[in-house]
Amino acid sequence: MIDIKIINKAILLTKYGRFDEAEAIYTDLMKNNPDDFNLLSVAGLFYVDIGNFDKASELLQKACSIKETLGTLSSLGFAEFERKDYLKAAEYLEKSLNYGKNADIYNKLILSLFEITNYKSAIEYSQKMYELYPDDVRSSTNMVKSLTQEGKMLEAQTFCIEALKKHPESASLWFHLGYLKELIYCDDLQARECYKAASDLGNKSADYNIAVTYQKLGEPEQAEKYYKRMLENFPNETETITSLGMCYLSQKKFKEGYDLFYKRELAPAVKRTENLWKPGDSLENEIVIICEQGLGDHIQFIRYLPFFKGRKVKVASQECLKDLFQKNYPEFEFIDYKDINPKTQALRITDLAYILNMDFEHIPFAEGYLSSDTADIQNSKLKVGLCWEAGSAAIRTMINRTIHIKCFEPLLNLTNIQVYSFQVTDTLGGNEKYPQMINLAKDFKNFTDTAMALKSMDVLVTVDTSVAHLAGALGVKTYLLLPYATDWRWFSDTKTTPWYKSIEIFKQTDHISWEEPIDKIIELIKKS
């Protein structure tokens, strides 16, 4: 039997911050009582309190194997949450609700479910939490997140505004309202004010979003300021480091930008290697170049491949690009990601310019570097390819680059042209709504098919997506529609780009309307 006075002493020592003495008591007690449920539970909570979540998880798992209670399960769930094992955290927290309920458990459970993208359950538990704890600001915040995730953005905005009347000092609600202003209205000015309110109320991570709004509105110096402020509070935050790097790259600060951009999070394919090139490394004779990030990146940076002739080079690429790349670069071997040898020195394709030290004043092969057969598409009218929707893992990026198909109605109604759809992922249903377009995309099996179709077009009209890069790489005449806030690689250019001589840029002059750049394109096509 453990003397309760000894445990109480350890608890008191913890209260006064004398953690080493408290830990010594728990360690000594567990030597002789390794399977005591109460001791394991109290010691587990002690390690939660001092932030040693690995040790807390170990002890609380053992306690739960003896007996499950509200306290042990919820504490274990909290420990797993802090260890970023959100799947286990959700499992333990959900199970703990069978023994009792409180707002803390619901909140951590919902946050865990969002992290593991189990949105259905996150939404269900958000609704339950709000029913049980309507005055808890976290309930309101989770409801806003859930409504946003369901696509009910206007409803989320209304709910958020009403919640702010009850909780005007809630940094989280101001943050989410800013995000909704971005998503619904593309109103970065209002969004920024909301993010600044969140920051002033203590949400230091809002500085990142403030930086993004400045960058989107063409104020890179202000963006830099807030990215740096973010890094003062979160010095190892990879997304911020990467974004600051891209901010520098957008201003053509090659080395300054790439030194940071290089530190971006490793893509799953890159994690297969144990020998990733890093600044200062010499290039080995045998290398594998890994196509990571988006398909457009693969196409844009494959131009640097010829500079690695003389080495034994394999290129790990997505299946949809392998055939096109192999035909254009027969001297190199293109492989599946699963065939990457982890011991071979690996280079990320988007780092090739950095590795070769070929800055933005020396971009090679701007006249085009890929070739393709031409598809047999006969038409006496001007053949115009069209792509209106950008694909991206990030909703903010996707919305920024995508143009609603309805905006192209004046183009689609021209009588002297035939429009051909290159839109493979058509979430807006443009191909069905406008049957006057000939849908070529439905028959594309890979980028070889896309390239052949592009070579048969007189001109391509497209948003910033992989098809734009493919057209530029093929030397196909292209009218590229860019948002007011462009990706770093387009720099601040408004008419032409050093990456592709065949591309002409038509950029938004404000951050909401696409009418002016589309009208300019239509006038050019009318004259063709």
Q: What is the CATH number of the domain that holds 157?
A: 1.25.40.10
Tens digits of per-residue pLDDT, 168-200?
999 999 999 999 998 888 889 999 999 999 999
| φ, ψ of residue 480 in degrees (nearest 5) | -100, 120
- If one counts the domains in the chain, the total is 4
**pLDDT at 309 > cutoff 90:** yes
Residue 366 lies in a domain: no
Q: Which domain holds residue 10?
A: 4-186
Q: What is the DSSP code string of 331-364?
A: TSEEE-GGG--TTSEEEEGGGHHHHHT--TTS--
**pLDDT at 393 > cutoff 60:** no
Measured from the Cβ of residue 177, the count of other Cβ atoms closer than 10 Å reads 24
Same domain for 326 and 256:
no
Same domain for 446 and 408:
yes
Q: What is the pLDDT of residue 511?
A: 78
Same domain for 202 and 116:
no
Residue 395: pLDDT band by 50, 70, 90 thresholds?
low
Work out the average pLDDT over 457-470. Answer: 97
Rounded CA separation 309/305 (Å): 8
Tens digits of per-residue pLDDT, 130-154?
999 999 999 999 999 999 988 899 9
Same domain for 327 and 200:
no
Q: CA 194 → CA 62, 215, 339, distances in Å?
A: 45, 16, 48
Same domain for 35 and 88:
yes
Residue 371 lies in a domain: no
Same domain for 400 and 509:
yes
Same domain for 427 and 338:
no
Residue 503 lies in a domain: yes
Residue 90 lies in a domain: yes
Residue 297 lies in a domain: yes
Same domain for 24 and 170:
yes
Q: What is the pLDDT of residue 394?
A: 62
Residue 376 lies in a domain: no
Residue 516 lies in a domain: yes
Residue 174 lies in a domain: yes
Residue 216: pLDDT band by 50, 70, 90 thresholds?
confident
Same domain for 433 and 500:
yes
Q: CA 399 → CA 246, 390, 491, distances in Å?
A: 19, 8, 19
Mean pLDDT taken over the chain:
95
**pLDDT at 329 > cutoff 80:** yes
Query: Which contacts qualify for 79-84: CB closer than 8 Å, 24 or more apart?
Result: 79/44, 79/47, 79/48, 79/53, 80/53, 81/108, 81/111, 81/112, 82/48, 82/51, 82/53, 83/53, 83/54, 83/57
Work out the average pLDDT over 61-82. Answer: 96
**pLDDT at 504 > cutoff 80:** yes
Same domain for 159 and 54:
yes
